[in-house]
Chain A
């Protein structure tokens, strides 16, 4: 239960705060605001994070913001944000809100879910 926080801030994510500051206007067409909910450092979480990073760097370079929230540390957020499965990736922006659960090992599906690819 020694929940070590996993917060390797990516790009312009604020270093320590979970509270996300207002969406930063980005020159790119669509700015992606992503949150990854994990619970401690489990292999699945680590895998999800690695998969996500790779994916973002490939498809969303420079126009995304990622926040990693460790529910072990901030359990109330699980309630507030209606998180059930771990890991869960939430696309806050662009609208509509999307939830992608799983370790994101299926890149195709993840891309479709994020609307980054039309179909599989």
Chain B
């Protein structure tokens, strides 16, 4: 049983993957190698096709696996088979975000109840369900209206870009207006609603309906008084709808203390979606919650949604799976020394970068560098500006030597300047999502994200950013957020508490010393790469941002003029030391020379003495020889015994013995 459950979950996830259309994005490497703009675009498209192909294979695989499991379950006694079938049948709504929240869509072939108060978008959601069904999934639909006429409905949804008349004329959509006027109707005796069934059947047959919407079927309770009959007929209706296998959406007004006024949830129990429209701090947020979804996992939270010119977008608070691909590709920050600090290559593609700092520390300049580097690599960058207008940013970046205008002209850079207070957070998020999905950028800059908190409470902002980061990560879009830290606030904290979801965090800081403020930068964290732990001085020059080594010594960290003074001082000391060394060397040399001269003199005198000694010895020997000769001559004359007396020896000896 446990195994079965695990298997089912697996299947579920597979299913979700294939069905969530918005999430099915390519994770293929973007054309960084293809430097030119045109090639970059061309390169990206086939990758998309590839991605889709892979998804299909995955789907096929999931199907196969599911079939196998179903077979196995059948062999087990069929108990699990019912569960299998329940998870299989889902009908994608095509409504952005709703399919993620419901893990694939509404229960196929079953009725779903959409309830909520007045003006919370029930009708719009149901119309969009039908229109998307026709347009995206080729599933014709029938709209049964108990309140508004065909014309009225068509006009109402035309503002969302839905062209109902054309769908009707193509026989893809049928609108059935059922008018129940109590004043016109008298009831005598028993009746049934066979007429309704006939009309539904007729409408189904005209278009071959796979989807049907019953917009506020509760109106029947207003038109007919015999509730016993009505309830019986409703029960029959929902059974009938199930038999026909159409996926139905039934809308109902919210009642007091109950989901619907007439307790429709009693009949429609497979899936109940509750819509809500709340005003908090004068900002309205629409929210959606799946109250129940029989036989399926579903997101249980309240998900904000909004209605704009393209229909409904439900925004899952977080991505449903934390399974975005982690790229090892690097993208440049646009500042060579910053790249060097980040393991020599810059940021990871698809990572989220937070640049935080107090006012005027150069956050926007770092952002501008990044945008510039992205465009220079031939990639598209989307710049959400919440503080400055486009021309202001262009002017300011030009002053530090970055020409962003050329990228704007080439279509590689797009600015989306918005006032944070112009609309609520959800709308902001949706607008951003839409811009991102439409422009399909490789990099996104949000400058500054702090300003968004003006549009909502802190938790809301936090959640919204979380969703945005999730969305970007899923898309493998590198995102740079700047965050203004308020003076006095803790530097290593962001107001909206999003630092934990950021991959790289650059901290910019002012240091005030010797009458000037200087900027320093350091990498607070950078996941998955060796990064420098050094504090760098950060300077804005005419050629952009420059990072310099700061002076770190016994006197602390010195920057700016203090650093320069310190450097000068050190240079001076260096010079002095060098000079001292030189003079010592010279002195030593002189000493050596003197010593050597002395040695030479001593040697000379020694040699002279030796020569003198040798002369003496020579003279002495000559003397000896002369004396010996003389002695010999004397001996000759005296006829002395020659053998006993060596001539050289003492001559006296000869005389004595």
Contacts and interface: CB of A to CB of B under 8 A. Distances in A.
Given A76-B202, A82-B178, A103 B184 contact: no
B191 interface: yes
Contact of A44 (B190, B195, B196): B190
Contact of A37 (B176, B179, B195, B196): B195
Interface string B177-202: 01110001111111111111011011
Nearest to A47: B189
Name the prevailing secondary structure of the A interface residues.
mixed
B224 interface: yes
A104 to B, nearest CB: 5
A113 B192 contact: no
B176 to A, nearest CB: 7
B198 A72 contact: yes
B190 A82 contact: no
Given A39-B195, A44-B191, A79 B185 contact: no
Interface residues of B, number: 24
Nearest to B178: A84
Nearest to B205: A75
B198 A39 contact: yes
Given A78-B199, A79-B199, A109 B186 contact: yes
Contacts of B198: 39, 71-72, 75, 78
B184 A102 contact: no
Contact of A86 (B186, B187, B194, B202): B194
A99 B185 contact: yes
B185 A100 contact: yes
A85 B199 contact: no
Contact of B195 (A71, A76, A103, A112): A71
Contact of A103 (B176, B179, B191, B202): B191
A102 B186 CA distance: 9
Contacts of A102: 187-191
Contact of B189 (A75, A78, A84, A106): A106
A5 interface: no
A106 B188 contact: yes
Given A76-B202, A82-B179, A100 B195 contact: no
Contacts of A103: 188-191
Interface in A28-56: 37, 39, 42, 44, 47-48, 51
B194 A100 contact: no
B188 A105 contact: yes
A1 B202 CA distance: 14
Given A75-B199, A79-B199, A84-B178, A97 B184 contact: yes
Given A84-B180, A98-B184, A78 B191 contact: no
Interface string B189-225: 1111111101101110000000000000000100010
B133 to A, nearest CB: 22
Interface residues of A, number: 35
Given A82-B178, A85-B224, A112 B199 contact: no
B176 A101 contact: no
Interface string A81-120: 0111111100000001111111111100110110000000
A76 B220 CA distance: 21
Contacts of B202: 75-76, 78-79
A86 B176 contact: no
Among B179, B191, B193, B194, the most chain A Cβ lie within 10 Å of the Cβ of B194
B551 to A, nearest CB: 87
B193 A84 contact: yes
Contact of A112 (B176, B186, B201): B186
A19 B184 CA distance: 23
B577 to A, nearest CB: 104
A100 B188 contact: yes
Interface string B453-464: 000000000000
Among B195, B199, B201, B220, the most chain A Cβ lie within 10 Å of the Cβ of B195
B363 to A, nearest CB: 64
B184 A101 contact: no
A48 B188 CA distance: 10
Contacts of A98: 184, 186
A31 to B, nearest CB: 20
Contacts of A84: 178, 180, 193, 195-196, 199, 220
B186 A113 contact: yes
Contacts of B188: 100-106, 109-110, 113
Interface string B147-189: 0000000000000000000000000000010111000111111
A72 B197 CA distance: 10
Contacts of A97: 184
B191 to A, nearest CB: 4
B297 to A, nearest CB: 38
Contacts of B220: 84
Contacts of A83: 195, 199
A113 B176 CA distance: 27
A71 B200 CA distance: 12
Contacts of A105: 188-190
Given A75-B198, A84-B178, A85-B224, A44 B184 contact: no
A18 B194 CA distance: 19
Contacts of B178: 82, 84
A106 B187 CA distance: 9
Contacts of A104: 188-189
A100 to B, nearest CB: 5
Contacts of A82: 178-179
A101 B196 contact: no
Nearest to A96: B184
Contact of A85 (B176, B184, B195): B195
A86 B195 CA distance: 6
A51 B191 CA distance: 14
Contacts of B189: 47-48, 51, 102-106
A86 B191 contact: yes
A105 B192 CA distance: 14
A20 B188 CA distance: 25
A79 B220 CA distance: 16
Contacts of A86: 191-195
B176 A79 contact: yes
A85 B186 contact: no
Contacts of A51: 189
B194 A75 contact: no
A70 B198 CA distance: 11
Given A44-B190, A71-B194, A103-B191, 15 more contacts: A39-B194, A71-B195, A75-B199, A79-B202, A84-B199, A85-B196, A88-B195, A97-B184, A99-B186, A100-B185, A100-B187, A101-B188, A102-B189, A102-B190, A109-B186
Give the top 10 A-B pairs by smallest Cβ distance, nearest first. A113-B186, A105-B189, A102-B189, A86-B194, A103-B189, A109-B188, A83-B195, A106-B188, A39-B194, A102-B188
14 contacts: A75-B199, A78-B195, A79-B176, A84-B199, A86-B194, A87-B191, A98-B184, A100-B186, A100-B187, A100-B188, A101-B188, A101-B191, A103-B191, A112-B186
